[in-house]
Amino acid sequence: GEDVEQSLFLSVREGDSSVINCTYTDSSSTYLYWYKQEPGAGLQLLTYIFSNMDMKQDQRLTVLLNKKDKHLSLRIADTQTGDSAIYFCAESREGYSTLTFGKGTMLLVSP
């Protein structure tokens, strides 16, 4: 299977919370990242979490990491229409310079 897996699509209403999930297979993953890609744009780094952490909060974003289940989630509180984008989960491993990306989750926020 894929190294990093994400659900492909999520639809929410403005003001609700969004939760985007990601699973990874490599237990040696060191950092886990969330990137955002708006239509026609590049990848914007949103946040990242080191593998020895369980949770990281940054304004409306909360990242939860369950290392035992190799599960990562990104919660966006009070989702706005401007949050509509594709969200990529990515992992890096100690000793490797590459990022391994999931296929991305398209978040659609309706008014």
CA 19, CA 61: separation in Å to the nearest integer?
10
Least distance to other proteins, CB of residue 86, Å? 10
Least distance to other proteins, CB of residue 17, Å? 26
Of 12 and 43, CB closest to other proteins: 43
Of 82 and 111, CB closest to other proteins: 82
Does residue 83 sit in helix, strand or coil?
helix
CA 8, CA 86: separation in Å to the nearest integer?
9
Q: Are 4 and 24 in contact (CB under 8 A)?
A: yes
- Give residues in contact with other proteins (CB under 8 A): 30-31, 33, 35, 41-45, 48, 88, 92-104
